[in-house]
């Protein structure tokens, strides 16, 4: 990125001054090396988002930001409906409510290592991964509508998981205001056989060791100690969410002129929050959110069963489940007044600080768990939301390492079999149905996750709690 366009406003914060059509400044988080390495398209997209009606505060990019569809991936923006604010399908993305769930196994690395291959095989068998994979479950339209309305709460009621899981999921595992009738028949058809599956791309199921603790208070509250083993699931709303995004992006593009929206980029297709189209999109997006929450709940249940066959004493309590690729109604101070806002987070994670009333009671003194996935074969992190994050970014943080090169470029540089063999020599077992998919997700195709989380901490977005190292990775 051209750094001459930016003004340094903090240790790891850079301001893009308002100019042209921008209604607010842009703010990009990252150390100089991270920001300079970002594509110029990221800056262009930050500026384009800053030009949308009703935006307040700033148009933000997290330290893992890279070029995306409309919004940068790692983009955060809040809109005030009382100022003509919009809802943008491009600001949520196609994989609606893609997110991360971490389970505490109660096991040590030595215990898991002794049965590593068997556990890897069992997880790969029980949790289908990859493009077009079908799951064990198939629903008719009536039951799928119940999933879209009930989310993880529906899954628990059907026996997938435990009632106590719900308190440890964002929004209690159920997005309010979901409207299954705002989801197309095509989207529902795509999803009927995909519940309980990981999908492809950067989605994964990992078994990880807690290698380092940074914040003892938060680690204790989260139930983490060095040497513990956790299981982490990263996936979203599968084909249904992608179709919801596709359907509404097309409709918003066609309707933009009628709403008087002069968009700088058609990929920023939007509708006024209070419009009929805006309300329908919100209902469909929330239904897709519930699809993702139910999907991770079901996969979590399958993971518990797989561990249980090999480690009957494993307890697999849920640590937390948090989404990115969402738009949530939240109240934040704007110009000294608590204001109802629609906060878009695309490839960004909500990071609520200590004493937020919506957090589980045990986590309130330390803040919300923020689950940060690395790339395949590299470390991941657990962070905690900070009190400063609300002022810095509407209580938002990064969501992962962030790509540093395209999938096509990765395919030119790596071969899947060689990556699997290399990681096996490091003690990491990889299971995947696609050698091409492994190559596309090569660790070298991503930014340095350590630099990303360091920037998040230095920027006051979240603080580091624990560093995790992979033992097993099931990859789509």
Q: How far, in Å, CA of 180 to CA of 151, rounded?
A: 11
Least confident of 32-36, 92-96, 314-318, 437-441: 437-441
Instruction: Report the half-sphere exposure of 233 (CA within 13 A, side-chain side).
Output: 36
* Second-level CATH architecture of 3-475: Alpha-Beta Complex (3.90)
Measured in degrees and rounded to the nearest 5, phi and psi for residue 230 equal -125, 165
Question: Please, which pLDDT band fits residue 268 given cuts at 50, 70 and 90?
Answer: very high
Q: Please write the tens of the pLDDT for every residue from 96-118.
A: 999 999 999 999 999 999 999 99
In the three-class reduction of DSSP (H, G, I as helix; E, B as strand; rest coil), residue 91 is classed as helix
Summarize pLDDT for 325-364 with one digit per residue, the tens. 999 999 999 999 999 999 999 999 999 999 999 999 999 9
Structure confidence by residue, pLDDT tens digits, 357-396: 999 999 999 999 999 988 788 899 999 999 999 999 999 9
Burial of 28 (0-12, 13-18, 19+ CB in 10 A): buried
For 31-65, the pLDDT digits (tens) are 999 999 999 999 999 999 999 999 999 999 999 99
Better pLDDT: 408 or 112: 112
- Does pLDDT of 132 surpass 60? no
Active-site residue flag, 203 = no
For a pLDDT cut of 70, what percent of the chain falls above it? 99
pLDDT at 134 over 70: no
For the chain, the average pLDDT equals 93
- 364 in helix, strand or coil? coil
Indicate the pLDDT class of residue 135, thresholds 50, 70 and 90. low
CA distance 42 to 253: 21
Q: Is 385 helix (H, G, I), strand (E, B) or coil?
A: strand
Sequence-ordered alpha helix ranges (H) in 176-333: 185-191, 216-222, 238-255, 276-310
Which letter does DSSP use for residue 414 in this model?
-
Inter-helix orientation angle 276-310/238-255, to 10°: 170
Q: Would you state the pLDDT for residue 435?
A: 82
* pLDDT tens per residue, range 187-230: 999 888 788 888 877 889 999 999 999 999 999 999 999 999 99
Q: Can you tell me the distance from the alpha carbon of 340 to that of 362, in angstroms, rounded to the nearest whole number? A: 27
- The DSSP H or E segment spanning 424 is helix 416-425
What's the pLDDT score for residue 191?
87
Phi-psi region of 254 (alpha: psi -120 to 50; beta: other; left: phi over 0): alpha
What are 99's two structure tokens? 């997110």
pTM of the entire structure?
0.95
Contact 465, 382 (CB under 8 A): yes
Q: Which residues are within 8 A (CB) of 25 and not within 5 positions of it... i.e. 6 or more apart?
A: 15, 16, 17, 18, 50, 58, 59
For the chain, the structural domain boundaries read 3-475
Confidence check: pLDDT of 441 > 90: no
Interacting residues of 361 by C-beta distance below 8 A, sequence separation 6+: none
Q: Which of 234, 242, 399, 408 is catalytic?
A: 399
The predicted pLDDT at position 442 comes to 79
Q: Average pLDDT of 441-455? A: 86
């Amino acid at each position: 990125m051209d750094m001459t366009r930016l003004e340094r406003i903090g240790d790891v914060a850079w301001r893009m001054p308002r100019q042209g059509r921008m209604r607010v400044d842009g703010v990009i988080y990252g150390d100089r090396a991270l920001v300079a390495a970002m594509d110029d398209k990221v800056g262009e997209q930050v500026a384009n988002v800053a030009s949308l009606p009703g935006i307040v505060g700033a148009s933000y990019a997290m330290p893992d930001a890279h070029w995306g569809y409309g919004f940068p991936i790692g983009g955060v923006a809040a809109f005030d409906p009382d100022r003509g604010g919009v809802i943008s399908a491009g600001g949520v993305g196609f994989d609606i409510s893609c997110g991360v769930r971490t389970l505490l196994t109660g096991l040590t690395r030595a215990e898991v290592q002794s049965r590593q291959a068997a556990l890897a095989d069992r997880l790969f068998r029980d949790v289908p991964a990859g493009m077009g994979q079908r799951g064990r479950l198939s629903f008719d339209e009536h039951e799928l509508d119940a999933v879209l309305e009930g989310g993880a709460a529906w899954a628990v009621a059907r026996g997938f998981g435990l009632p106590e899981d719900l308190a440890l999921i964002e929004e209690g595992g159920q997005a309010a205001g979901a409207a299954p009738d705002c989801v197309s028949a095509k989207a529902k058809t795509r999803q009927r056989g995909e519940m309980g599956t990981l999908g492809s791309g950067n989605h994964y199921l990992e078994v990880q060791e807690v290698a380092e603790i940074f914040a003892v208070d938060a680690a204790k509250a989260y139930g983490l100690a060095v040497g513990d083993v956790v299981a982490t699931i990263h996936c979203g709303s599968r084909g249904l969410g992608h179709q919801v995004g596709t359907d509404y992006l097309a409709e918003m593009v066609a309707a933009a002129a009628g709403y008087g929206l002069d968009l700088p980029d058609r990929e920023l297709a939007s509708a006024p929050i209070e419009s009929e189209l805006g309300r329908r999109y919100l209902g469909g997006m929330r239904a897709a959110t519930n699809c993702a929450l139910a999907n991770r709940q079901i996969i979590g249940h399958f993971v518990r069963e797989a561990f249980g066959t090999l480690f009957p004493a494993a307890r697999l309590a849920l640590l937390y489940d948090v989404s990115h690729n969402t738009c949530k109604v939240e109240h934040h101070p704007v110009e000294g007044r608590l204001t109802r806002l629609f906060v878009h987070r695309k490839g960004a994670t909500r990071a609520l600080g200590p004493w937020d009333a919506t957090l589980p009671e045990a986590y309130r003194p330390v803040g919300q768990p923020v689950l940060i996935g690395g790339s395949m074969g590299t470390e991941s992190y657990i962070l905690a939301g900070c009190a400063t994050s609300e002022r810095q970014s509407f209580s938002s943080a990064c969501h992962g390492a962030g790509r540093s090169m395209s999938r096509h470029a990765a395919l030119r540089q790596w071969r899947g079999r060689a990556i699997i063999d290399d990681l096996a020599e490091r003690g990491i077992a990889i299971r995947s149905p696609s050698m091409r998919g492994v190559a596309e997700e090569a660790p070298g195709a991503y930014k340095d996750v350590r630099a990303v989380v360091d920037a998040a901490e230095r920027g006051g977005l979240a603080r580091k709690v624990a560093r995790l190292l992979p033992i097993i990775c099931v990859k789509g």
